């Protein structure tokens, strides 16, 4: 070979090596250049980073991950990025190139950051199946101060990363846990690893359930696995729980919209109810409609509707507050005759609209997911389940997809007395009509958030600024509470749920255009009020200078000082105000 030929061969090799070393082309190359330049305005940074996470390749994601792990981005954006990176891993099967171990440091973030970053970091560790995160996750599981929700997420993540270790930890909780909730947590993780073993353990644990123990975790985890309902049914037949516990389990099955015969046929006799839905003839429908008109009580019916064990508000909204699985029921009485309502309760499949038809999806991993399809693309399906959670499922992960009927349980009337059914029908029949059950026409708070904590530091004296910001505003454990149709929130219900005369509530408002607005409480006694981080001295009728964006109004309620057993809050605009806002409703 002469020198000229050798030169071209070497040049070709160098070129090939160079091309092989080049990173793959990026769909967001120009956006990455802008992002790396540091010239993105703060107001646009979030949308730019989201675009990179949504469309970028592994090298683009590596840059973004470095900014999160390196504490470069603001805390709120870092929290969002963890979620976007999880979506990239789950839906596009793309994760950052290079070293991912810095994620483990976010699992042990400082106290000021842990509430914000820990949940996302745990979920991301599971999505990446990051072995380096296992020690930190195990430490969270074993730490006595770890909140139950965090421990549950960490245990689930361990199971995804290392099924062997996950099984060992889950079995240890099942065998040695000193509380029903702890042992139940072990079952929820074991169900994903060994469904029959989880069902056997679940049956034995349910035999120990006491009043106040929640069976939701056990039931939900086994319903979510292929063969789970049948396995649990067989285990319960061999080791039956008490009638009261069986009724709780049956209510939970119905609340999720499931009707698995292998499980219901075992639970129903134990609960003392019929396993078969009540079938009404046309004559019986008319008779019940007449009885509801004559004997039903709307006020009592509203209490039936609000019962947590019937889960009506998990699926249906009233004045836009509540679940989004079924239609908002505010106008149903004004639009529907009584016999229609009777049929809707006893045979929900008979008059179901297309928008509320369910989908049941089984994934390649054996998970069973059910809900209403709210979005579908070429790559993903999004379901909304009975807890109003959005579940995004990659098309490539779907093994089977079946179209079902209504999520509303057919067996619901078997869990009510005849009087309760008549009261519920009467309540529904007056919804949307002028009077006590009319459609809301003001900016009145219908959906509240309640802080689900028993921390003595919050329930005693008024918290200082630091405790309020870290333990209240930044807390991840807020759950929804709903006002009555007329806008009053029953405080005695919340005090009983929280088992404390002192608790925290929060209302939210979306401000489209800033400006003055006023708070109008029905009664201010016993309330301490913050707007954002600011403590108000005189909240009743206080004029707020609202800024655009979502704002929070947090209340500390002391029912011992409050003469009224209910609460109502309305936002109004003073004369001349250009503010535009909308109270936050929904689930």
Concatenated DSSP letters for 216-278?
A: HHHHHHHHTBTTHHHHHHHHHHHS---HHHHHHHHHHHHHTT---HHHHHHHHHHHTS-SSPP
> How is residue 295 written in tokens?
């004997």
Distances in whole angstroms, Cα of residue 449 to Cα of each of 30, 84, 143, 177, 307: 42, 25, 28, 31, 17
How many Å apart are CA 492 and CA 497, to the nearest integer?
9
40 contacts 50 by C-beta, under 8 angstroms: no
How many Å apart are CA 432 and CA 333, to the nearest integer?
6
Task: Report the CATH architecture of 443-583.
Answer: Sandwich (2.60)
Following DSSP, what letter does each residue of 4-41 receive, concatenated? HHHHHHHHHHHHHHHHHHSPPP-TTHHHHHHHHHT-S-
How many Å apart are CA 552 and CA 505, to the nearest integer?
10
What is the distance in angstroms between the CA of the first residue and the CA of the last residue of the chain?
A: 77
- Numbers of helices and strands, H then E, in the chain: 25, 20
Residue spans of the domains in the chain: they are 282-353+409-430, 358-403, 443-583
Domain 358-403's class? mainly beta
Residue stretches of the chain with pLDDT short of 70: 1-24, 109-115, 454
Neighbours of 142 (CB within 10 A): 12
Max CA distance (Å), the chain: 108
What b/e readout covers 12-29, taking b as 16+ CB neighbours within 10 angstroms?
Answer: eeeeeeeeeeeeeebebe
315 contacts 325 by C-beta, under 8 angstroms: yes
Partners of residue 480 on adjacent β-strands: 449
When computed from its CA atoms, the radius of gyration of the chain, rounded to whole angstroms, is 27
Partners of residue 566 on adjacent β-strands: 490
Distances in whole angstroms, Cα of residue 315 to Cα of each of 257, 470, 535, 587: 10, 32, 35, 9
380 contacts 327 by C-beta, under 8 angstroms: no
Q: What local confidence, expressed as pLDDT, does residue 240 receive?
A: 96
Neighbours of 144 (CB within 10 A): 5
* CATH pick for 282-353+409-430 out of 1.10.760.10, 2.102.10.10, 3.40.50.140, 3.90.850.10: 1.10.760.10
213 contacts 180 by C-beta, under 8 angstroms: yes
For the four alpha carbons of 108, 109, 114 and 116, in that order, the dihedral sign comes to: negative
Q: Which residue has the tokens 């990173």?
A: 23
How many Å apart are CA 573 and CA 445, to the nearest integer?
15
375 contacts 391 by C-beta, under 8 angstroms: no
Q: Tell me the CB-side half-sphere exposure of residue 338, using CA atoms within 13 A.
A: 21
How many Å apart are CA 391 and CA 383, to the nearest integer?
5
319 contacts 440 by C-beta, under 8 angstroms: yes
420 contacts 304 by C-beta, under 8 angstroms: yes
* Conformational region of residue 366, where left means phi above 0, alpha means psi within -120 to 50, and beta covers everything else: left
**∠424-428-430 over CA atoms, to 5°?**
120
Q: What local confidence, expressed as pLDDT, does residue 10 receive?
A: 29
> How is residue 403 written in tokens?
């179209």
> How is residue 491 written in tokens?
């405080």
* Conformational region of residue 548, where left means phi above 0, alpha means psi within -120 to 50, and beta covers everything else: beta
Q: Which residue has the tokens 């964006």?
A: 549
């Amino acid at each position: 070979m002469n020198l000229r030929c050798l030169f071209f061969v070497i040049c070709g090799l160098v070129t090939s090596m160079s091309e092989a070393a080049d990173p793959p082309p990026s769909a967001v190359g120009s956006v990455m250049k802008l992002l790396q330049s540091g010239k993105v305005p703060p107001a646009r940074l979030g949308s730019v980073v989201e675009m990179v996470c949504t469309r970028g390749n592994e090298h683009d994601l590596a840059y973004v991950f470095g900014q999160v792990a390196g504490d470069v981005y603001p805390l709120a954006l870092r929290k969002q990025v963890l979620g976007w990176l999880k979506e990239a891993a789950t839906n596009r099967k793309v994760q950052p190139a290079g070293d991912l171990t810095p994620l483990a440091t976010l699992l042990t973030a400082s106290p000021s950051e842990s509430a914000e970053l820990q949940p996302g970091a745990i979920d991301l560790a599971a999505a990446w199946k990051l072995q380096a995160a296992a020690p930190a996750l195990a430490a969270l599981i074993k730490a006595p101060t770890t909140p139950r929700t965090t421990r549950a997420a960490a245990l689930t993540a361990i199971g995804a990363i290392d099924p062997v270790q996950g099984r060992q930890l889950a079995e240890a909780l099942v065998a040695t846990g000193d509380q029903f909730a702890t042992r139940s947590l072990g079952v929820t993780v074991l169900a994903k690893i060994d469904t029959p073993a989880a069902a056997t353990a679940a049956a034995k644990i349910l035999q120990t359930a006491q009043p106040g123990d929640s069976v939701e975790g056990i039931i939900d985890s086994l319903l979510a696995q292929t063969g789970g309902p049948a396995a649990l049914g067989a285990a319960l037949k061999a080791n039956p729980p008490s009638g009261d516990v069986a009724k709780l389990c049956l209510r939970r099955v119905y609340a999720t919209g499931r009707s698995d015969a292998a499980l219901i046929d075992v639970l129903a006799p134990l609960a003392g109810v019929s396993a078969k839905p009540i079938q009404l003839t046309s004559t019986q429908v008319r008779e019940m409609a007449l009885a509801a008109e004559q004997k039903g009580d709307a006020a009592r019916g509203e209490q039936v509707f609000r019962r947590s064990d019937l889960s009506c508000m998990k699926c249906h909204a009233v004045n836009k507050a509540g679940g989004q699985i079924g239609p908002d029921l505010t106008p149903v009485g004004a639009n529907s005759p009584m016999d229609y309502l009777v049929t809707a309760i006893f045979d929900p499949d008979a008059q179901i609209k297309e928008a509320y038809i369910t989908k049941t999806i089984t994934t390649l991993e054996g998970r069973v997911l059910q809900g209403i399809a709210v979005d579908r693309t070429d790559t993903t399906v999004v379901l909304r389940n009975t807890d109003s959670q959005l579940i995004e499922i990659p098309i490539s992960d779907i093994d089977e997809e079946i179209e079902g009927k209504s999520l509303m349980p057919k067996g619901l009337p078997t869990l009510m007395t005849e009087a309760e059914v008549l009261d519920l029908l009467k309540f529904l029949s007056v919804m949307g009509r002028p009077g006590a059950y009319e459609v809301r026409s003001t900016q009145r708070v219908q959906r509240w958030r309640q802080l689900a904590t028993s921390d003595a530091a919050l329930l005693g004296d008024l918290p200082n600024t630091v405790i309020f910001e870290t333990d209240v505003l930044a807390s991840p454990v807020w759950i929804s509470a709903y006002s009555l149709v007329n806008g009053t929130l029953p405080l005695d219900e919340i005090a009983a749920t929280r088992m404390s005369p002192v608790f925290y509530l929060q209302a939210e408002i979306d401000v489209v255009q800033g400006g003055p607005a006023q708070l109008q409480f029905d009664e201010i006694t016993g309330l301490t009020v913050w707007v954002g981080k600011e403590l108000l001295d005189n909240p009743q009728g206080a004029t707020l200078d609202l800024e655009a964006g979502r704002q929070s109004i947090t209340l500390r309620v002391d029912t011992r000082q409050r003469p009224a057993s209910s609460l109502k809050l309305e936002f109004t605009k003073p004369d001349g105000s250009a503010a535009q806002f909308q109270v936050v409703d929904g689930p």
